[in-house]
Structure 1
C-alpha cells in the first residue's frame, strides 16, 4: 500500500502540493510559537535596576492583604502609603536615609515616558556623570541619554530648567534628575526610601512596624517602577502566540481537509478503476490514509525545520515591538518540536478521515464517468451532521452566555474563538446554499447577450464540490477579518458612545504627562467666573465577594454636586445626589448592588470602610467603575477637571480665563468634543498585534489553498476547455470564462464569510444590549473589501495562468475528413 501511495504522490503531486505547503507552514508556526511560549515559561528573574547598588530599600504599605477561609488574598494598592515618620526616625539612627521620589515629566524635544528623580538617588543605579556636573540649585537638572546637552535650557510642564550635566542611559528608563529640594516640591509624598545600612539591622529596627517592607538583594527589583511589567509582558506573549498557534491548527485542519476532499472527488474515476480491478473499499481507504501519512510526515518534518529557523526572528520581532522584555530570548526547550510534529501528523490524518470514507464508497461504475458534474449528494450525511452539531453548539453556547454572563462575550479570548464554530458550521453546510446562491449571483449575467454568463452559472452550479472547496478558504479569511476587526470596532464604538453620553460639560482639563494637577491650578480653575468646575481623581476600591475573591474596581473621586453639573451617569437605581462621605456608587457587576445595602470595602490606600450604596450603574462595556467622594480616595491626586459654562456666561471670556488658569501648569484644556475624539477608545497594542497575526495566518493559508485548489480545478477541466475551443470559442473568450467563474466562486465565499460576520456581531450586539450599552454593529468594510480583492486577484491568477498555458500547448484541431 505504501508503494502504491508513493507512486500516486509521484504521479499526481499537484493535488498534494497545497496540503504539503499548508501543513508545513502550520507546523512551522506551531514550532515557532511553541518555542516562544517555552521561552516565556522559563524566563529568568528580573534583576534590580534603579537600586542595584543600594543596601536596603524600605517601602511603605503597598499591598492590601485580606484573610479569607481559603487563605490570604492580596491586591496592589492604588495609593501606597509612605513610611511612617516614627519609622523614618529610627532609620536615621542607622545611617544615611535618602527619600525616593518619582514623577512624570514632559519636556520639549525630550523622549516619551520621561521620569523625574532626586539627584541623591542616582548613585544607587548607579548612574555616573559623563558630562557636566550635578544639579545644585533650583532649576538645574541632569539629563539621561543624549537628547540634551549641558548648557541647554529645556521647557517642561514643571517650568523651564537648565541642563547642567548628563548621565549614561542605562536602558531601563528615560530620566531627568532634579535637586532634592525641587523633587520634594514636585512629589511631596515619597512611598519608599533608601537606607545606607545593613539590611538585617534595618529589619530589626522596623520589627513591629506594620505595613512596611525591607528589600535587599534580588528583592530590590520590587522597588523599581512597575516591577511586574515583565511578567505582564510575558503573559501577553503567551496569549498572543497561544492564540496564533490555535488559529494555525484550526485553519490548517480546515485547509488540509478541504484540499483532500476535493482531491478525492477529482479521483472518482481512478478509484472506480481500482474497484473494477478488485480493490476493496477498505483498501481504497488505506491508500488514501497512506498518502496522507506520507504527506503528514514529510510536511511535519519540513515544518519543524522552518519553525526552528523562524522562531529566533519571531522572538526578536516581539522584543523590537515592545511585546516582550529586552532580555527575552529563546531557550533550549525541545518539547515544542514534538508537539508541532505530532500535531501536524494528526492534522493530516484528521483532515483526510472524511475524504477516505468517501473514497471507500466509490463504486466500480465511477470508472465510466465522463462528466465532471456532481451526480450524488455533495453534502454527505456525516458532513451534514457535523455541520449541524457545530451550528447548534454555537447557538446554544451563545444563548447560555447571553442568559448567564453577557459580559463574557466582550472578552478578547471569547470573541477570537467564537467565530471558529460558525466558520466550521457554515463551511460544512455550504453545499446546501452553493447552487441557489450561484444561480442568484449569475441570474442577470446569464440573461445578457453571449454565452459566458450562462456557462458560468451552469459550471459553478453543477460543480458544487469544486465551488464549495474554492469558496471555503475565502469564507475563512472574510469571516475572520469581519468578525475579529468588527468585534473590536463595535466594542470601541460602544465605549466611545458611553463616554459621549456621560460627558455633558463644555471643556475638559487633564493633567500633564499623566501626573496629578497641583492645588494652585485647581484653585485657579475654581476661581474662573462663569465656570462650573468638577474636579475628579482616579483611585481604586477593593471588595471581597463570595467571601473568597478580592476584586479591585476602578473608582473616580469627585464632589457629587459638581459632578452632576458636568456629567450624566447612566444610573439604573438611586440618585447621584445621594452620594456622600459614607456612601458609594457601584455598578451591577458587584455582588451587592441594591440601593441602601451596606458593603465592606477597602479604599485605595488600604483603609477599611463600610459604605452604603447610594446609586447603581449598569455594567456597560466594563468601563463603568465606581464613584466615591474625595474623602474616600486618600492619596489620590486630581487628574481631570470637567468644566461647564454657567447660564448666561460669556463663552469667550470663560475660555480665555481657563487657558490662563492652566497655562503655568502645562495642563491640557480641550473642548469636550475634541477631548472625546482625542481619547477615543482604541485597541491596545497587544490585541492589535494579535489580530494582525491571526489575520495574516488566515490570509496566508487562504492564498495557499486558493492557488492549489484553483490549479487542481483548472487542470481537471482541460478537456472541457478544449471542447469549448472546438465549439468555436476563442482563446480570450475561454480565459474570460475561467476568470468569471473564479470571481463568482470568490463572491460566494465572501458572502458566506459575511454571513458568519453578521451572525457573530449580532451576538455581540445582543450582549451589549443586555449590558445596557446598546451599540450599532460596526462592519469593517475596508478590511473585508481588501481581503476579498486579494482573494479574487489570487483566484483569477491561479485559474487563468494554468488555463492559458494549457490552451497554448493544446491548440484545437478539426476532425479529419473522410
Structure 2
C-alpha cells in the first residue's frame, strides 16, 4: 500500500481522470440518494393532532400494488366513530370526509388541480389537524364555509363536482382547506375512509385497520405520492446512469494508463514482480484514488442536495414543502459505492497488466501492439449480430412490439459500434482524411491517428454512445409523440372538445346541457370469479348495466359491486368492450348517484358549447396535443437531466483520454519541433486528431441512431396504418457534438501549452 501511495502521489496526473470520475460519481450518488431518502411519505398535515388513524377495510390489492379500500357510508362512519369514542384514551373520534373544491377568481379555478380533490372537509375535522378558529363562528348551514384566507362575512365563489357555488365565510381558521358543516361535508363527499382519533388511544382495543406512529405516513394523499414517485424515478435513473458511466470512465482511464505504463510494468516484472503483485499494485493504486475521490465527492453531494430541493418542487417532482435532511447512512453508502465502482473499473486493466512480459521493458515503440482483445472481439461481434438479426426480423414481428424491438436493436448496435470502434475507425479515417492526404499537417494527422487507433477509439467511443443515445432517445420520443397526436386526433368523434381548465375534470354543471356526451370517471369494487378488486369505471349514458372487458375469461351474468360511497349492489352484465380487463362501464346516472365526486374528462362537442367555469373549448388537435404535451413535459425533463449527465461524463472521458494521451506523446512532439515545427504546428496536429476522433464517433453513433429511427418510423406507420414524419432531433444532437468537440480540442491542446511554458521539460 505504501508503494501505491507513493505512485499516486508522484504521478497524480496519470490518475487525475479516475479521481475526477470517482469524485463526481460519488457526489452524484450522494446528492441524489440524499434527495431520495429525504423524500419519504408523510401523513397529511390535516392529521397532525391525530396520533391514530382508523381506515375503512382493505379488500385485496390492485394491479398497482396498493391496497383497495371499501368506503364507509356516512351512516356507517358515524356509527363507527361512536364505537371508537369509547376506546380508552380517546378524547374524540372524528370522521374525515374529503371532497373536491377549488376557489374561483374571475370565474377561473385556482390552486393545484390534483391537490384540490381532497381540499374540502367537515368542520369537526379541524380537531385532527389542531386547527383553531381565529375569527367568526363555525359553519352550521349549507352554503357556509370556514377557511384560512378570508374574513367572516365575505362571499366566495367556488367550484365543486356539482358545479359553481357561492359560499358565505362564517369563520377564519389557522390551517389550509375548506371546512363545511359536518352534514354538508358528508353530502359532498359521499363516503368516508378515515376516522381520526385524538388523545392517547389504546390501539390494542381497536379491531379495525389502524395506522399509528410512522404507519400514518402510508395515508399520504395520492396526488403527493404520485409526485414523489416521479421524483424517485428521475433519481433512480440518475444514480443508475452515474454508476454505469463512472465504471465506463474508470475502466477507460485505467486501460489507457496501463497501456502507457507497459514498459514500467515490464520493468517491475524484470526485477521479479509476480503477476499477482502487479494486480495488487493496480488495485491498491485505484483504492487510494477512490478513497481520495470519495472524500471529495461525499461533501460535494451533501452540500449540493439542498440546493436541488427548490428546482425539484418547481418542476413538479417533489411536493410543496419538501426539505432535504442530512442522511449519514446514505453518504457512507455513496463512499463505499465509489470504492466498489473504482475497483470494478480497474479489474480488466489489472488482469491485462499482470500478463505484460518482462521483455517489454526493452521495447520502445509508439505503434500499438493490438487494439482489439479477444473478449472485445467476441462481445462486439455478438452484439452486432444480435442487433442486425433483430433489425432484419422487425417486419415479421407484431406491429405493437416493433417499436420496442427497434429501440433494443439500436442499443445493441451502438454497443457493438463502441466495442468494434478500433476496427471501424481505420477505414473511416482513411476515407475522411483522403482529401487532405497531400499536406504535411493532414499527413501527420492521418498517420498519427492510424498509428494510435486505441487512443482514437477511446476518444470516439464515449462520443459515439452519447451522440447515438441522445439522437435515438430524443428522436424516438419526438416521432412517437407526433404519431400519437395524429392517431388520437383521428379517434376523436368531434371537431371541438370541452376540456378542463386548471381543474382535475369537468363538473356536472359544466357538462349538463352541452351538445355532446361526457362520460364520468370513477372507481368501484367488483367481485368477479370470487376475487374482489378495484376497477376504473366509466359512467356512460347508453349503458344499461355493467359492461366488462372481453379480456376477462370468466365473465359472470351478474356482479356484486361496492360504490365509491360505500353502498353495495348486484348489477347485471349487459355487454363487453375491447379495453383492458381493469376497466368497466356502468350507467351514468347510477354512478352519479353513488359518487357525487365523479368528474368528466371532457365533452366531445357536436354543436356550439356553453361557457362554464373550469372549462375551455379546444379543437380536437389542441386537446390531444395538450394531453401529449402534459406527459411529454416530464419525459423531456428526464431526457434533459440524463443527457446532461451523459454529456458531462462524456466530456470527462474525452478530456481525460486526450490529456493522458497527449502528455504521453512528448517524444513524438519533440521530434516534430526539432524538424522545424512550431507550437502552432503541434496544436494543428492535436486539434485535427481530436476533431477526427469526435467526427468518427459522431458518424458512427449518428449513423446507427438514424438507421434505427427509420426502422422505428416504419414500425409506427405499420401500427397506425398512416404516414408518419421522421423527427431528427438536431436541436439536441448538434449541441452534444459541439460540446464534445470543444472539450476534445481543449484537452488535446492543454499539454502542449503546459510544455511550452515549462522550457526545461519542453518538446
TM-score by length of structure 2 reads 0.77
Which of residues 578, 602, 612 is equivalent to 1:616?
Answer: 578
> Within the alignment, does 1:507 sit opposite 2:510 as a pair?
no
Query: Does the C-alpha gap of structure 1 residues 235 and 600 become closer, same or farther in structure 2, counting only changes over 3 Å?
Result: same
Which of residues 514, 519, 539 is equivalent to 1:536?
Answer: 519
Which residue in 2 is equivalent to 1:255? Answer: 249
> Within the alignment, does 1:630 sit opposite 2:619 as a pair?
no
Looking at structure 2, the residues matched to 188 and 602 of structure 1 have their Cα atoms a distance apart, in angstroms, of: 19
Looking at structure 1, the residues matched to 406 and 233 of structure 2 have their Cα atoms a distance apart, in angstroms, of: 14
State whether residues 119 and 134 of structure 1, in contact with CA within 8 Å, keep that contact through their aligned partners in structure 2: no
Note the C-alpha offset of 1:742.
Answer: 1.5
Note the C-alpha offset of 1:454.
Answer: 3.6
> Within the alignment, does 1:709 sit opposite 2:657 as a pair?
yes
State whether residues 96 and 125 of structure 2, in contact with CA within 8 Å, keep that contact through their aligned partners in structure 1: no
> Within the alignment, does 1:465 sit opposite 2:454 as a pair?
yes
> Within the alignment, does 1:13 sit opposite 2:12 as a pair?
yes
Q: Which moved more, 1:692-701 or 1:81-90?
A: 81-90
Output aligned runs, 1:481-500, within 5 Å: 481-486=470-475, 488-500=477-489
> Within the alignment, does 1:439 sit opposite 2:430 as a pair?
yes
Q: Which moved more, 1:701-710 or 1:365-374?
A: 365-374
Looking at structure 2, the residues matched to 546 and 459 of structure 1 have their Cα atoms a distance apart, in angstroms, of: 73
Which residue in 1 is equivalent to 2:286? Answer: 292
Which residue in 2 is equivalent to 1:745? Answer: 693
State whether residues 481 and 784 of structure 1, in contact with CA within 8 Å, keep that contact through their aligned partners in structure 2: yes
Note the C-alpha offset of 1:361.
Answer: 4.0
Which of residues 583, 588, 608 is equivalent to 2:547?
Answer: 583
Looking at structure 2, the residues matched to 433 and 773 of structure 1 have their Cα atoms a distance apart, in angstroms, of: 38
Which residue in 2 is equivalent to 1:117? Answer: 120
Residue 680 of structure 1 aligns to a residue whose secondary structure is helix
State whether residues 472 and 709 of structure 2, in contact with CA within 8 Å, keep that contact through their aligned partners in structure 1: yes
Looking at structure 2, the residues matched to 66 and 662 of structure 1 have their Cα atoms a distance apart, in angstroms, of: 41
Which residue in 1 is equivalent to 2:89? Answer: none
Query: Does the C-alpha gap of structure 1 residues 675 and 332 become closer, same or farther in structure 2, counting only changes over 3 Å?
Result: closer
> Within the alignment, does 1:786 sit opposite 2:735 as a pair?
yes
Looking at structure 2, the residues matched to 197 and 276 of structure 1 have their Cα atoms a distance apart, in angstroms, of: 80
Looking at structure 2, the residues matched to 290 and 331 of structure 1 have their Cα atoms a distance apart, in angstroms, of: 31
Looking at structure 2, the residues matched to 409 and 607 of structure 1 have their Cα atoms a distance apart, in angstroms, of: 44
Residue 255 of structure 1 aligns to a residue whose secondary structure is helix
Which of residues 102, 105, 108 is equivalent to 1:108?
Answer: 105
Looking at structure 2, the residues matched to 74 and 22 of structure 1 have their Cα atoms a distance apart, in angstroms, of: 43
Looking at structure 2, the residues matched to 121 and 415 of structure 1 have their Cα atoms a distance apart, in angstroms, of: 58
Note the C-alpha offset of 1:306.
Answer: 4.3
Output aligned runs, 1:28-177, within 5 Å: 28-36=27-35, 46-47=42-43, 49-50=45-46, 64-65=59-60, 74-76=67-69, 82-84=73-75, 100=97, 102-108=99-105, 110-113=110-113, 115=116, 117=120, 120-121=123-124, 123-124=126-127, 125-130=129-134, 142-145=146-149, 157=159, 167=172, 170=175, 173=176, 175-177=177-179
Residue 578 of structure 2 aligns to a residue whose secondary structure is strand
Residue 46 of structure 2 aligns to a residue whose secondary structure is coil
Residue 628 of structure 2 aligns to a residue whose secondary structure is coil
Query: Does the C-alpha gap of structure 1 residues 409 and 62 become closer, same or farther in structure 2, counting only changes over 3 Å?
Result: farther
Q: Deviations over 1:259-287 (max 9, x none)?
A: 11111222334344555566555554444
Which of residues 248, 258, 262 is equivalent to 1:268?
Answer: 262
**Number of positions where the alignment pairs a residue of Structure 1 with one of Structure 2:** 737
Looking at structure 1, the residues matched to 211 and 353 of structure 2 have their Cα atoms a distance apart, in angstroms, of: 70
Looking at structure 2, the residues matched to 403 and 76 of structure 1 have their Cα atoms a distance apart, in angstroms, of: 45
Considering only aligned residues, what root-mean-square deviation do their CA atoms show, in Å?
5.4
Which residue in 2 is equivalent to 1:639? Answer: 600
TM-score by length of structure 1 reads 0.72
Looking at structure 1, the residues matched to 58 and 501 of structure 2 have their Cα atoms a distance apart, in angstroms, of: 27
- Give unpaired runs (5+ residues) of structure 2: 86-91
Note the C-alpha offset of 1:506.
Answer: 1.5
Looking at structure 2, the residues matched to 761 and 73 of structure 1 have their Cα atoms a distance apart, in angstroms, of: 37
Looking at structure 2, the residues matched to 801 and 108 of structure 1 have their Cα atoms a distance apart, in angstroms, of: 61
> Within the alignment, does 1:674 sit opposite 2:622 as a pair?
yes
Query: Does the C-alpha gap of structure 1 residues 765 and 599 become closer, same or farther in structure 2, counting only changes over 3 Å?
Result: farther
State whether residues 32 and 307 of structure 1, in contact with CA within 8 Å, keep that contact through their aligned partners in structure 2: yes
Query: Does the C-alpha gap of structure 1 residues 11 and 58 become closer, same or farther in structure 2, counting only changes over 3 Å?
Result: closer
Which residue in 1 is equivalent to 2:26? Answer: 27
Query: Does the C-alpha gap of structure 1 residues 144 and 540 become closer, same or farther in structure 2, counting only changes over 3 Å?
Result: same
Q: Which moved more, 1:500-509 or 1:311-320?
A: 311-320
Looking at structure 2, the residues matched to 198 and 264 of structure 1 have their Cα atoms a distance apart, in angstroms, of: 69
Q: Deviations over 1:455-481 (max 9, x none)?
A: 333322321110111123323433443
State whether residues 714 and 802 of structure 1, in contact with CA within 8 Å, keep that contact through their aligned partners in structure 2: yes
Q: Deviations over 1:68-90 (max 9, x none)?
A: 9xxx995247xx57435897799
State whether residues 255 and 705 of structure 1, in contact with CA within 8 Å, keep that contact through their aligned partners in structure 2: yes
State whether residues 597 and 612 of structure 1, in contact with CA within 8 Å, keep that contact through their aligned partners in structure 2: no
Q: Which moved more, 1:511-520 or 1:693-702?
A: 511-520
Query: Does the C-alpha gap of structure 1 residues 592 and 795 become closer, same or farther in structure 2, counting only changes over 3 Å?
Result: farther
Query: Does the C-alpha gap of structure 1 residues 352 and 386 become closer, same or farther in structure 2, counting only changes over 3 Å?
Result: farther
> Within the alignment, does 1:227 sit opposite 2:227 as a pair?
no
Q: Which moved more, 1:234-243 or 1:743-752?
A: 234-243
Q: Deviations over 1:336-389 (max 9, x none)?
A: 455434433333233223223333444556456555232x22011022224445
Query: Does the C-alpha gap of structure 1 residues 813 and 266 become closer, same or farther in structure 2, counting only changes over 3 Å?
Result: closer
Looking at structure 2, the residues matched to 602 and 761 of structure 1 have their Cα atoms a distance apart, in angstroms, of: 47
Residue 517 of structure 2 aligns to a residue whose secondary structure is strand
State whether residues 46 and 126 of structure 2, in contact with CA within 8 Å, keep that contact through their aligned partners in structure 1: no
Q: Which moved more, 1:420-429 or 1:340-349?
A: 420-429
Looking at structure 1, the residues matched to 80 and 533 of structure 2 have their Cα atoms a distance apart, in angstroms, of: 36
Note the C-alpha offset of 1:784.
Answer: 2.3
Residue 518 of structure 2 aligns to a residue whose secondary structure is strand
Note the C-alpha offset of 1:103.
Answer: 2.1
Which residue in 2 is equivalent to 1:377? Answer: 370
